[in-house]
Amino acid sequence: MASTALAPGSPSDAPPQLAPARRVRPDQIRRRFARLGWAFSAPALLVIAAFTIFPILFSVLLSFSKVNVTASGFSLQGLTASNYDKVVTSGLWHHALWFTIVFTVVTVTVELSLGTVFALVLERLTRGRGLMMALMLIPWSLITVISAELWSYIYSPTYGVLDEIFSFFGLGSPNFLGTALPATICLMFADVWKTTPFVAIIILAGLVMIPEELFEASSVDGASGWKTFWRITVPLLRPTIGIAVLFRMLQAFGLFDLPYVLTGGGPGTATQSLAILGYNTMFTDIDFGPGAAVAISTAVIVLTGCLVFLRAFKAQVGKESPNA
């Protein structure tokens, strides 16, 4: 009987060959990570869409609609542009727009100037900088409504601190919030007190990023402190200043809680901002269409101003860039 044993070295004795590993291209890896990132971000994006994007789109629809308000709710009855015509031709809207622009320009300018001074002082402190920064942030950390209530006690004509000071020096007992110009100045002062520390911290962050060697070289060349500030510090701080101004413009143009608590937009309509005008139109006058038109027009103005500012800022930085 013939032997069935295989001879040594036959093909069946050879070890099994492994299939070559499949190479994964870098673009495939990036796509996989991108899909994973979208999967993890989906819950947050859904929340943003539900509570931010949808209200904005609905407000746009509301501003172009004829809104019929009844005791059981409201209904939309066709599209119209009359809401915007009613808003833009209103003297109240013109006054609120002018007040908001003036308030924004004045407060942002003052806060930027004072914040830069405070940041320069903090940057030169060798001891106690952390304590001083913590003390400065106390006004900023207060909720604006609480801060406004605090200032309402200070400005009170009956038991306010300022009333006591003025009476002590024989200056009478002025009603700071009872007339237009003093009320506007009081609002600006309260806003500057609260928000200047925020600007100072941003400017300080930019200051500590400037290389110390530049100031040493300037000192060796005999440049004065004033010339060093304008020739070295300010140009290198412009990106940081741009960020601070942009944040403050967005916040100041949406002014609502401070005048709402302190003056209610008064006396009369002297301190009525665009935000308060939109609130009063929609929820006091129950006029949803024009109220939404005030809100959307304000958003368009803010967006346009920010785009113009960013374009001008980018052009200025591009002129100063060595690669421009």
Q: What pLDDT does residue 48 have?
A: 87
Q: Choose between 128 and 320: higher pLDDT.
A: 128
Burial 243-271 (b: 16+ CB within 10 A, else e): ebbbebbebbbbbebbbbbbbebeeebbb
Write down how long the chain is. 324
- Residues 157-179 have pLDDT tens digits of 888 888 888 888 877 777 888 88
Domain map of the chain by residue range? 90-286
For residue 209, which phi and psi values (nearest 5 degrees)? -85, -10
Structure tokens at 174: 């002025």
Most confident of 12-21, 48-57, 164-173: 48-57
Check if the beta carbon of residue 208 is closer than 8 Å to that of residue 123: yes
Which stretch of 39-43, 64-68, 213-217 has the lowest confidence by average pLDDT?
A: 213-217
CATH of the domain spanning 90-286, picked from 3.40.630.40, 3.30.360.10, 1.20.1440.120, 1.10.3720.10: 1.10.3720.10
Point out which residues pair with 73 in neighbouring strands. 70
Check if the beta carbon of residue 261 is closer than 8 Å to that of residue 149: yes
Surface-to-core class of residue 280, CB atoms within 10 Å of its CB (0-12 exposed, 13-18 middle, 19+ buried): buried
Residues 6+ apart with CB under 8 A from 153: 159, 160, 161
* Model confidence at 322: pLDDT above 50: no
Residues 6+ apart with CB under 8 A from 166: 172, 173, 174
Check if the beta carbon of residue 100 is closer than 8 Å to that of residue 273: yes
Which stretch of 44-48, 116-120, 229-233, 298-302 has the lowest confidence by average pLDDT?
A: 229-233
Q: What is the pTM of this model?
A: 0.81
Point out which residues pair with 44 in neighbouring strands. none
Map residue 226 onto helix, strand or coil.
helix
